[in-house]
Every structure is written in C-alpha cells, then in structure tokens.
Structure 1
Amino acid sequence: MDPVEAEEQQTEPPDEETYAEADPTGRFIRYDEILGSGSVKTVYKAFDKLEGDEVAWSQTRIDDSVMGSSKKMALLNTEIQLLKTLRHKNIQKLFASWIDEDKKTVNIITEFCISGSLRQYRKKHKKVGIKAMKRWAIQILTGLEYLHSQEPAVIHRDLKCDNIFINGNDGTVKIGDFGLATILQQQKTKSVKGTLEFMAPELFTRDYNELVDVYSFGMCMLEMMTCEYPYSECQGQAHIYRKISQGIKPCVLSKVEDAGVRSFIEVCLAPVAERPTASELLKNSFLQKDGSIPVPPISVSLVSSVTKDGRQSASFVLLKGEFVLKGDMHVTDHIELVLRFPDPSGCFKNAEFPFHVDRDTSLSVALEMVEGFELPQGNIQIIAQLIDAFLLLLIPEWVPCVAVGQVVSKSAHSYIAKRIMNCRQPSSSVLDKSALPKLSTI
C-alpha cells in the first residue's frame, strides 16, 4: 500500500454506525472518546460532517429543578444563544447547541483544541519559560477584555486552567466552558457558582462584577507558574472557604520566587476595590516586556545636599529596577540607609534602617525587610545586592554576601568608577538572624 494512501486511511473518520450519538440534524456525530469529565458534565471528541473538522461535544446534565421550571429553561436557552454570538480569537467558538429533554442534558458543540486544557498541557510540559507564560497571559486577558466589553458584560465566573484550552502547535489559547457564564445584570442577588479555589471573596457576598474573572485569572497564573492547585494545603472545602473569606492567599504563592511574576499575581488577587480590569492588566509593565525578565544593572550616582546645620553632605544613591537605596558617604560603626521599594499593593514605601558593619550582613537585613513588610521573597536578592553594592563603594575591603552583578555610574564620577573596578566577589557567608536591625517606615 502506498504510504500516502495508508496515512489517509488512518485519518479518515470511522463509519457512522461506529459513532455513539448524533445531533438532531445529523451534522455532528459523537465519538466514544472522552476528552474530559466532571461531576455533571462529560466532553467527547466529535466530528463535523459539514466542515470535515473534529469538534468537542459537551454534555451537561440538567437538574430537575431547572427542567421543571419554564423560566429557568428560558433563561438557559437565552444564555446559550448569547454565547453563540461571541466571536473572538481567544474565545472557544460555539457551533451548535440543543437541549435533550429525554436525557436531561444540555449539548454544546465547540471547536476542538488539539492539546486539551491548559492544565493538562502544563502538567505534560513542566519546563515552560516566562516568555511563553506571558503570551498565554496576554491571550487570556485579551479574551476576558472582549467578554467584559459586551453590553451587558459577560462574566465567566468559573475561569480556571481546566476551562482554558490550547493548541500546542501554535500556542493559541482560548477561553472555553461557558456552562456557568452569565450576563452581568443589575440585581442584588446573584447565584454563587464556580470552583471554590479560584473564586474571588466577593462572590460569597453575591454582590460582584466582572472583576471576579480577573481574580480567577490570577489564580490561573499561579497554577501555570507552579503546576500546583491553589489551596492544596487546606483540609476540605470549609477550610478553603474560610481562608478565601479572610483574604488569606494560598501557600503556593510563596513558591513563586521571581519578584516580577509574584507582584503581577498579587495585583490580580488584590481586594476588589484595588483590583485592575483586564484592559488595565494588559498595559501592566510585566506583560510589556517580551522574553525573559531582564536583570537591570545597579546604577550609582552622587547627590550633594546641605544639612539643617548648614554643612555640606554627600550621599550615594543606588537604583535597581524600582528599588532605590540611599546612604551617606560618611563611614562610622553603623550606617543609616533609606530604601524606597514597591509594596504588594502597588504603592511605594520608604524604610529607614541602620546597618552595623561589624555584625550585620546584607542578607540578614534584606530578610528582615521582606518579613517585616511582607514583600515577595524574590526581593531579598535585590535588597541584598543594593546594600552590598553600597558597602563596596564605601568600604574597599568589604566582602559581599551576594553577587552584586553589573554596576554602572550614572554620574560618571571618577570616585565611583574606581570603586566599581575594585568590587570583590561574594563570600560564602551564612545568613545570621541573631542580630537583625530595627526597621521603621517613613
């Protein structure tokens, strides 16, 4: 047999009698192959005879309370008809739907994404770079932006990696599974539906808007980054509910070491009053940077000023990303430093703290700051680098605890240039928490 002919035989759909079920029109014919299943829903692979494409056939069982209510059935039909009108590259297309009253099921035919859900894909491919993660995030947010821009807005309410699908051959991501989606209506009481681990706290009050999807997106990002389900540390649904209600973030968030990634996730999980929209998140600086997050150098400049008693004073100012460290050039047994840093809420704070050269290390101080101000763990490295860079400029024989990286002079001052040339390598110092400085916010 010719190889091409053999390949055609393998990809040709089976005869109709081998299919398990057909839709009322006969256009779509269902395979027995299950793509996914839940407590009330099963998704099968199916075939579109008209277009010659493989599609997904979702069957969801209808509760008797819905079947027995003409009002609820009408609302269900209206919602399905709405979803048919959605057309966007990052929204899974809905081709057809019908209600089987005999079997008490809602049947929905959608486009088929060859690589399955984003959760399945992520579990299969453990090593995914930050560049790919950003591409996925942008596509998910673009889809949400489209949904939320409808009149009235469409809220998914059950966004999770199981309901986001991907074509692995080109990296296209699509939001799907709108079985729980609803039109945002101006009413005081709204039903609470969704997956508890991904639900925003305000959903429990039944007074919410489309920002619940942004919160769920943040949880999706967390799962994408860690390959772990949020709140897996909890014992049962009641424990999860209590943590979410109290605004306690899942433990897995601490495993996100990259400060930029963690900060972006925390912005998505912020209280609803501070939470950005999907459109605003698309403009976030984290997503604007393509490729891996660049490592910014430490830039140094000299600043002269006049003290209250009229004396001249000179300070080193060190900048790394959004972190700014300032300290006087005068050397004593302890040094007063001021650090400006972004906190998880997106605002900036200033912290003044002493550094004792005889007993402190850059790591001990950095750890104290991160713990004291509840900053992402990735900030320990940045703060320690700034402190060590400052001390290297000030004390020629200082041995840093961490690799400082590239240091550049903004003012091209010869004194700074000479100090940079003499930077030493980090020591193998062990973090000592026995003598940590006291911090104060100013």
Structure 2
Amino acid sequence: MASSSSIEWRIVERDEERKLSRSNKPLGSGSFKKVYLGFDEVKGIEIAWGKIPFTRQIKKSKRCAEAELSMSLEHENIIKCYDHWLDKPNKVVNMITEYCSSGDLRHYILEHNLVANTVMIKNWCRQILSALHYIHTRDQPVCHLDVKCANIFVDGKTGTIKLGDFGIAKAYNQELVIADIKKFGATVAEMADRRLLLCGEVRLGGMVFGGGGPEFFSHPMAYNLSVLAGVKNKEIARFSNKCLPPAPRTTALELLEDSFLAVDVTETSAASTSTAAGNLSLRKSVRDQVAELLQPPAEVLKDFDSRNKKFRLQGKMSEDVLISITLRSITDGNDSVRMMYFEFLLGVDTIPDIMADIAVEFDLSAEVIAVVSENLEQLITEFQPHDSNTPSISKEQQTQDGRSEDNRRRGIRKLKLLSFLCCTKPRSI
C-alpha cells in the first residue's frame, strides 16, 4: 500500500437537526456571502455552506430571495440549493448548496491551461445557454445578470458545468434578457482570453451595464473592441460578437442553434442541454441499453452499526478497475467524526490489506473489524461486473496479474490513494 497522510478538519457549526456540519475550510467569498465546505451526514455527501449577512430587505421581509429562487430551480446546469434558514441571533442566512469539487470555471481554465480551447468552449457554451434558456422560459422567468466564469462551477469528474450565484437575479423583462446575453458573450471572450480571465471581470461588469468605468465603454463599438481585443480565434470572436451590442437581439435558444455550436462527428463532448434547448445526444440502441444494465453501479452506500459506533461506507467507481471508497465513523454520545478515504484496485488490493490500515487508524476491536470487513466485502462485490459470461479470476491469478501491473498502477495511486480526515467537535458547539 502507498504511504498515508492525515489532515485536520474541524466542525465549527451544525444545523438544528444535526444532520449538516460546516467546516472551517473556506471555498470562496463574494460581496454578499462567504462559502465553506460542509458535509451532509444523512446523504453522505460534501456540500457548500454559504453564509449571507442580513440586508435591510431580509430584515424587513424575513426571507432571502436568492435562497428561495435557487431552491425553485431544477436544472442539471444550475447549482442546486438543498436548504436554507435564517439565523436571527447571528443575523445571517445559511444556504446549503451543491458542492463542485473542481471550483469555478475561471480557476479551472487557468489551472488546466484551457484558454481558447475551442472544443471545450463549445461544450461549456451549450451548457450555459441551456441554463439561461431554462431560467428565461420557466413559469416564473428570471434573469441571472451576473454570468461570468467566476460564477460558473465545474464537476471535474463529468465535465458538467453549473451556473451559480443568483444574488442579483431579477424578474424577467426583455432588457434584462439582453443584459444576460451580453454577459454571456463577454464570458465566451473570457474563456478565450487569458487577460480577461486574470483581471477583466470587474471591468467587464461596468462595461456590460454601462457606467462603473470610463465613459467610452458605454459606446457599443468601443465595448466590442475592448472585450474581443485578446480573442485570436475568429470563430470564437464571431460567436461572442453576436451577443454584444449593437448586434441584433437574440435569445439563448437561437444561440444554441448557431453553427458554432454544431456537434462535430469527431467531438466527444459530454455537453448537457435540456430537451427544450435542443438535446444533441443520440439514442442508445437496445444492445447498448442491455449492456448498460449489466454494468456495475456508479455508487454504492452501506450504513451499519457496531458497538457504540455508526459507520457509513460510500463507494464510487472512478475507473474500470478502481473504486474510490470513503469510510465514515461516528461515536455515539461524542461528536467525534473520523473519515478515511482510500482506493481499492480490483485484482490487486485485498480486503485484509485494507482492513489492516483501517484497524490501525480507527483503533477497532476484533468484533468491529469483522463487521466492517463484511460490509466492505459486500460493497466491493456489488461493483463486480454482472455479466455471467465474464470468466471468474482465481485469487492466484489475481496475485500474479496484480504483481505484473503493480508498479504501473501504484504509480497512479501514489498521487491519490490514502488520506485520513479527523473531525472533532470544538467545545463551543
């Protein structure tokens, strides 16, 4: 096994039902709120816990418009809001939302050197426009008004991007739709221009809505020249310019139908667009559907108790032979939480090897070790291929095959294998 490392993570706050916990790790902050990493102890998933200070409007209405709007939105390319509540003593609104571990699109592009990557930009544009089409055409339509790379978040495992931060959203009207499309056009330019990604967001805000900057920015031609100055790809520049003044008024759906976003036969993009926005995915054949049913599940959860401890095992198939597993333990009567992340390589790792590390880190008795081991074995078994024609592999073969590929696979695992997370409730809670 690769060597392990440990990280301290403190729980600093819980909800009244003690189902959600907030850590002291910040995820980001804006003009109106701060966001921290949290954990949903019922679903077993990480969450984003936002804290919005009371405004005069919130004090008067005793409600948070952003949180209520976000909770009403149901779209795969919009950050989901799970819950919110007012904390009157501390004068903040707590807002629990979906967590995207790869961060915002601005940092994602810079980190992975994706500036002006045409295939990726097309993929992102389809998803953003799908989200805009949804909010502009729902029963109670709204406009976002702050579309930019810093407000778009990335699920790096699937390539899905999600529009978030509806803090200044307003009820739909035609002028605000135009503002959303302008901001989208400027965002496309951001994706293709490192200068705008690094320092252009604040200036772009003033340029889009007029004011907040030099007077000449309000002139359509000056605006276009400034936004598109660093965009070298003519195809991207044309598409971005279509959204900017004085271009004719257009809608998100019309932009989705632009030739720039047509899916090339060689493109393997996983762009997700709603049916109303023109879903571009192909139907699967019956054979494909049957083959999919025979595949192991994407995720398996197991909850069980032993002695005075509650356990949760959560497994996800990261690759064809690699299962990412989280083991979470909570001791009854003590708000002490311990989490352990590890990866199980099918055909190489064995449950006794994994259990040896778990037993040491969790200081478990032989009885509890047996219970955890049994549940771990059941979880891993569920990820085995369901195809009865797949030949079984003996333990001897697994050992031989494992040794032959051990060096190659362990090289991959060194970067991401074991990490332990210890959480202890501070006295102030």
TM-score normalised by structure 1 residue count:
0.53
Aligned residues: 258
Measured after TM superposition, the shift of residue 166 of structure 1 is: 0.6
How far apart are the structure 1 equivalents of 2:74 and 2:13? 27
Change (3 A) 1:49 1:235: closer
What is the aligned counterpart of 2:132 among 140, 144, 162? Answer: 144
**Which secondary structure does the structure 1 equivalent of 2:175 belong to?**
coil
Query: Which whole-Å deviations, capped at 9, do the CAs of 1:83-103 have from their partners, x for residues lacking one?
Result: 212111111111011122222
How far apart are the structure 2 equivalents of 1:268 and 1:291? 26
Change (3 A) 1:183 1:239: closer
What is the aligned counterpart of 1:89 among 76, 79, 85? Answer: 76
Change (3 A) 1:235 1:261: closer
Aligned to 1:211: 178
Change (3 A) 1:167 1:245: same
Q: Is the 8 A contact 1:130 1:292 kept in 2?
A: no
Change (3 A) 1:88 1:10: farther
Contiguous gaps of at least 5 residues in structure 2:
268-429
How far apart are the structure 2 equivalents of 1:27 and 1:114? 21
Q: Say whether residues 1:21 and 2:13 are aligned partners.
A: yes
**Which secondary structure does the structure 2 equivalent of 1:107 belong to?**
strand
How far apart are the structure 2 equivalents of 1:291 and 1:223? 26
Higher relative contact order, structure no. (Cα contacts within 8 Å, ≥ 6 residues apart):
2
Aligned to 1:277: 251
Aligned to 2:292: none
Aligned to 1:69: 60
Contiguous gaps of at least 5 residues in structure 1:
186-206, 294-442
**Which secondary structure does the structure 2 equivalent of 1:132 belong to?**
helix
* 1:217 counterpart letter in structure 2: F
What is the aligned counterpart of 2:154 among 155, 161, 166? Answer: 166
Q: Is the 8 A contact 1:45 1:55 kept in 2?
A: yes
Query: Which whole-Å deviations, capped at 9, do the CAs of 1:283-326 have from their partners, x for residues lacking one?
Result: 00011153899xxxxxxxxxxxxxxxxxxxxxxxxxxxxxxxxx
The structure with the larger Rg is 1
Q: Is the 8 A contact 2:185 2:243 kept in 1?
A: yes
Measured after TM superposition, the shift of residue 122 of structure 1 is: 1.3
Identity within the alignment, %: 35
How far apart are the structure 2 equivalents of 1:141 and 1:208? 17
What is the aligned counterpart of 1:263 among 212, 231, 238? Answer: 238
How far apart are the structure 2 equivalents of 1:62 and 1:233? 24
Change (3 A) 1:208 1:290: same
Aligned to 2:86: 99
What is the aligned counterpart of 1:54 among 46, 55, 66? Answer: 46
Root mean square deviation, CA, Å:
3.0
Aligned to 1:121: 108
Measured after TM superposition, the shift of residue 152 of structure 1 is: 2.2
How far apart are the structure 1 equivalents of 2:157 and 2:98? 16
Matches within 5 A, 1:24-423: 24-63=16-55, 65-70=56-61, 73-74=62-63, 76-77=64-65, 80-128=67-115, 129-184=117-172, 208-229=175-196, 240=213, 242-247=215-220, 248-249=222-223, 251-271=226-246, 274-290=248-264
TM-score normalised by structure 2 residue count:
0.54
Q: Is the 8 A contact 2:195 2:230 kept in 1?
A: no
How far apart are the structure 2 equivalents of 1:228 and 1:30? 35
* 1:262 counterpart letter in structure 2: A
Aligned to 2:270: none
